[in-house]
Amino acid sequence: MRALCRAIAVRAVARPLPVEIEAFGSWRHDENFGSAEVRTLAEPAGLHDWERSHLSAHQLASLPHAQLYWPFGLAWGVSDSLGEAVASIFLRAADPAAFDSAAGERPLTVLWDTGAGFGESTSAPSAYRLGSHGRCWHRVVLGVDGPAPRHVAFALGAPGDVLRVTGVRLCWSPAAGEPERQTLAADALTIQGAERLGEGLYRIGGDCGVIVATPDPRAEFRGTLQLDLFFAMLTEG
């Protein structure tokens, strides 16, 4: 009976039927611990619209419990394919990469300029994966102790790729004090090495495309700078 009850519970939680999503998705959870906040089980907290629309199946399955109580309810509410992907990842029935784009892992370089321009000493290699919908939410965290970056850039893609840029979010977290956030939409960014095709849409023509963001000016900073890049890519071939 224990195994039977466990199987029923796991199926209902991880692979809910539409009627179960409708019934349980409306349940509200009281945050308690001195907070008056109340939200439904399938409603994520503190998730920006860009984050929500660029989440991969693995990122959705990895959201902390404090941010989302029932990731399966949210995923199945979006689409059957996303729901099955999140369930398979959470139950360890498939490798998370199986639900990403077939393009696989691709290189990305982060660069920052503290006054002397971009250079090898102020750059860091990284890599990204596109989700099955061709979108990506890529995060990089830089440690800063001295002159603050005047510009930050992301070099990515290959000739012929079509890039759609949504925007960049920056979060300055000082060693002491409250974080400061800045959101830069596509029209506030500079795109180099690419031909503009339309609103936020570019075809990469050089070795790669370069997305340049300009943070709010500040002279010195000690802490971390979190960079979140939101984009989509249609790879050639």
Query: How high is the pLDDT of residue 236?
Result: 57
Q: How far apart are CA 7 and CA 237, in angstroms?
A: 43
Q: What is the mean pLDDT of residues 27-45?
A: 74
Query: How high is the pLDDT of residue 171?
Result: 96
CB neighbour list of residue 47: distance below 8 Å, 6 or more residues apart:
63, 67, 68
Percent of the chain with pLDDT over 90: 54
Q: How far apart are CA 107 and CA 137, in angstroms?
A: 14
Confidence of residue 72 (pLDDT cuts 50, 70, 90): very high
Q: Between 60 and 36, whose confidence is greater?
A: 60
Q: What is the mean pLDDT of residues 44-53?
A: 87
Whether pLDDT at 190 is above 60: yes
Confidence of residue 32 (pLDDT cuts 50, 70, 90): low
Q: What is the mean pLDDT of residues 204-213?
A: 93
Query: How high is the pLDDT of residue 235?
Result: 74
- Give this prediction's pTM: 0.85
Per the CB < 8 A criterion, the answer to whether 50 and 169 are in contact is yes
Q: Between 28 and 36, whose confidence is greater?
A: 28
Query: How high is the pLDDT of residue 38?
Result: 76
Going from the C-alpha of 208 to that of each of 191, 193, 202, 211, the distances in angstroms are 11, 6, 11, 10
Query: How high is the pLDDT of residue 162?
Result: 95
Going from the C-alpha of 69 to that of each of 60, 196, 207, the distances in angstroms are 11, 41, 43
Whether pLDDT at 45 is above 60: yes
Mean pLDDT over all residues of the chain? 90
Cα 82 from chain centre: 16
Residues, the chain: 237
Query: How high is the pLDDT of residue 199?
Result: 79
Query: How high is the pLDDT of residue 34?
Result: 59
